[in-house]
Chains A and B, each alone.
Chain A
Amino acid sequence: MSLTKSIRYNFMKDIGAPAVMGFAKAGKKKRRRKPNPNFGPPLKCANRLKEIMTRHYFLSRYAEGARPVAWVTSGAPVELLRPFDFYTIYPENHGALCGAQRLGPELCSVAEEHGYNQDLCSYARIDIGHFLSGKTPVGKLPRPDILFASNNICQTVAYWYKVLAHQLKIPFLLFDTPYNFEEITENDITYMVSQLEEMIPILEEVSGKRFNNQRFEQIMLLARDSSFTWGEVLATMKTEPAPMTIFDAFIHLAPIVSLRGLPVALDYYQTLLDELRERIDRGIGAIKNERKRLMWDNIAIWYKVRDFSNLFAEHGMNFVTATYTNAWAETISNMDTDKPLESMARTYSLVVLNNNLNHRLGLMERLIKEYKVDGLVIHSAKSCKPYSVGQYDLKRLLMDRLGVPSVVIDADITDFRAYSEEQTRTRLEAFFEGMED
């Protein structure tokens, strides 16, 4: 690491970032969006969230050379990296951000021009497109010293990170989590624990720091508490009317994905939870007229979050739960500092996408009952095979077992070339009609 870069980074952290955030805030106050009559008052926390994420990406520009940098997948056990002081970048979060700003096709096209097929996951194409062109809405992402992925969400992340490792000639650590076809065995757990143990010397070498077990345990606790609090945030939507919508949750999950294990994430979710509880006490709903409650399946359609949010609110329908947002809370009760590595193996390998479809069906049934869900919207995401393969069967089974009506939207997470407004409108109109019967 370079001393000059460290000094510059610390200066930016302590002085530059607060100043820039201050300017941004002052500028922000001037712009006011016309309130939508279908919604309750917006969440006050949204500004704080924006500050946190802007600061994270702003500081990342100065991290290269000052701190070891890791690019990490959303489901990787980041707690293991934090004691080494890695600055962590989440290309999936960056992809979502690009998607929300409708930059998906532009960045994907760069990757496609270099031979990456249009049928590949668009988070990966965006990231490769960004890597090849340097284009990003966040200014600049720091070059990684290491790549850290887990295939607990998909195999795609491994193929994608291998491309980066090949290009950058840097180490790639894969946390290989055997798929839970029937049940996770002791053999699987032993394998995962050994992998984590084997990673420590590599991380020590890349970061130039010794592993500090005490710090690791503190980080585990922070991560666990953040995930618990995130779970409680989501659980507030069990209330009728729900104080937030799943579209809010899509946005507010950024810290649990990208800043897990850092105090800022826990602080943020405690503040958000307090606000939501206050809204519950005061009977404030996210939408004014919550007549129907829905569940969302799969990752968000980032370029349609606002449109869908308005459209469903117009119909008095509120999304109150999603398998996706739940993923960062679902398995956290396994985290245990008495058995740190073993409990990490369980926490990370038991996530929804690493589980058989019956597990997912059980989870969806539970969420439908607990959140009093009336209908289900299934996003069939071209990018994401592990999330999408099996959705047709799940749709049928949920109808048979619980009589929950549903609709499938064919789309993509960020690449709106794979989305048809007309087809979606037609399907949704039929769904809205059906929901009124």
Chain B
Amino acid sequence: MTRREYLSKQKEMGRNLIGVFPAYYPKEILWAFNAVPAEIWDPPLEIAGANAHLQPYICSVAKLGLELILQGKGDILDGLLFPHTCDSIQNLASIVYDYLGLNKPCYFFYHPKAPYRNSSRTYYLEQLRSFVSRLEKDMGPLDGGELKHRVEQGHHLAAILREIYDLRSQGDFSASNAEFYRVIRQGEYLHPDDFIPLLEGFLGRSKGGDGKGSAVILSGILANPPEILGLLDDLGVRVANDDLLNCGRRLLMEPGRMEDPFEALTANYFAMPPCTTKDSPLDERVNDLLKKIEKSSTKGVIFYMVKFCEPELFDVPQMVAAVKTAGVATLIIDVDLNQGLSGQLTTRVEAFVEMIS
């Protein structure tokens, strides 16, 4: 079933569909409202109309997201959510909300930026509550029991993802790179009632396989072009872990076990791996990456950059320097999304693999 078919089905089941721009948002709250968050990262579209709103130096994540709306591909959605990720998404939210005349609610979610202090925690907690109040206006009252249930479900999901990532990092998970990210990324639109069984099946099938061989880690925003994953498979290289904004950086945390669901969600946010879009100090990012490298005996890191992505591009030089100092090779891919795998890129990846093999 395609993503679109799945979402249409969800809608038929009476669920609201909320299009969500990158990156951090309390998905459990949407689930509790019987809504399905459909994340918008790299829809397979040609950029056309978005160029009338956004300059050539704006990243293709922002452009493709806008393009999706302009081309009417988001008509199925009941609302849009813009987390405060970067300056581009911030202003894009305002363009969409203020000027596109969409007849659907637009939500905005501001999360506190590091360095975190006590005020950050209090603020995040209050932001969750006001997000709920905002949603209640459109979707009716929140069922407290349902929120508790969805937060627990989120914990369960996080535990499975951690197990999968751990096995993969140790080389005990047999799925190919392409298959791995195809499955993990389905979490960007599947309802947890469907995603959890899918992941459990995936875990059962792939556990214990022989995944030794050269290992690399992916850092950056998202694995696009995805064809690189297949190329790495062909070259016998395993992606052992990632620090991607759309994957590991949001998925791999030890969830908070508080009784109060809002407290638990707050703990989750602050327990997530460090991220530039949350202004995490560079030391934390560097150390996190080095730890991942050590844990999986990785020989190379591929930085999957989206062209013009200011938040990530500021962190990369320090991360590259630290990785190189640790004796690990680096490859930086800085591209517009959906451009496929060029001959030049293939050659660069092959040369990189040769170096680490």
Contact = CB atoms under 8 A, between A and B. Distances in A.
Given A386-B87, A389-B87, A159 B279 contact: yes
Q: Which of A163, A165, A185, A356 is packed against the most chain B CB atoms within 10 Å?
A: A356
A121 B118 contact: no
B335 to A, nearest CB: 13
A115 B93 contact: no
A117 B334 contact: yes
Given A389-B91, A393-B99, 8 more contacts: A115-B321, A154-B87, A163-B317, A165-B281, A179-B110, A357-B91, A390-B94, A392-B52
B246 interface: no
Nearest to A198: B117
Interface in A121-174: 121, 124, 151, 154-156, 158-160, 162-163, 165-166, 172, 174
B118 A174 contact: no
A174 B113 CA distance: 8
A191 B112 contact: yes
Contact of A181 (B93, B277, B311, B334): B93
Contact of B53 (A151, A176, A361, A392): A392
A361 B92 CA distance: 15
Interface of A: 114-117, 119-121, 124, 151, 154-156, 158-160, 162-163, 165-166, 172, 174, 176, 178-179, 181-182, 185, 187-188, 190-191, 194-195, 198, 356-358, 361, 380, 382, 385-386, 388-393, 397, 410
Contact of A166 (B99, B112, B277, B282): B282
B6 interface: no
Size bracket, chain B contacts: 35 or more
A397 B94 CA distance: 14
27 contacts: A120-B313, A154-B87, A156-B310, A159-B276, A159-B279, A162-B282, A162-B315, A163-B317, A166-B282, A174-B115, A176-B113, A178-B84, A179-B90, A182-B108, A190-B122, A191-B112, A195-B117, A198-B117, A357-B91, A358-B94, A382-B55, A382-B57, A385-B87, A385-B310, A386-B87, A389-B55, A389-B58
B202 interface: no
A195 B116 CA distance: 10
A194 B118 contact: yes
A115 B122 CA distance: 37
Interface in B118-138: 118-120, 122-123, 126-127, 130
Contact of B91 (A185, A188, A190, A390): A390
Q: Which of A158, A159, A358 is packed against the most chain B CB atoms within 10 Å?
A: A159
A119 B110 contact: no
A389 B88 contact: yes
Which 4 A-B pairs rank lowest in CB-CB distance, beginning with the nearest?
A115-B317, A194-B119, A159-B314, A389-B91
Contacts of A114: 317
Given A172-B281, A382-B57, A397 B99 contact: yes
Given A187-B123, A357-B94, A119 B308 contact: yes
Q: Which of B91, B92, B112 is packed against the most chain A CB atoms within 10 Å?
A: B91
B314 A388 contact: no
A62 to B, nearest CB: 30
Contacts of A124: 314
Given A124-B314, A162-B281, A187-B127, A181 B113 contact: no
B279 A116 contact: no
Nearest to B312: A159
A162 B286 CA distance: 12
Nearest to A159: B314
Nearest to A114: B317
B286 to A, nearest CB: 8
A160 B115 CA distance: 14
Contact of B310 (A155, A179, A361): A155
B231 interface: no
Interface string B287-330: 00000000000000000000110110111111011000000000
B283 interface: yes
A158 B279 contact: yes
Nearest to B320: A115
A187 B313 contact: no
A337 to B, nearest CB: 22
Contacts of A191: 112, 119-120, 122-123, 126
A410 B114 CA distance: 33
A358 B308 CA distance: 25
A198 B127 CA distance: 20
B349 to A, nearest CB: 20
Contacts of A390: 53, 91, 94-95
Contact of A172 (B115, B117, B314): B115
B54 interface: yes
B95 A389 contact: yes
Given A162-B281, A166-B281, A393-B99, A116 B87 contact: no
A158 B122 contact: no
Contact of A158 (B98, B99, B113, B316): B113
A385 B282 CA distance: 22
A265 to B, nearest CB: 29
Contacts of B126: 187, 190-191
Contacts of B112: 176, 191
A314 to B, nearest CB: 29
Contacts of B279: 151, 155, 158-159, 162, 174, 176
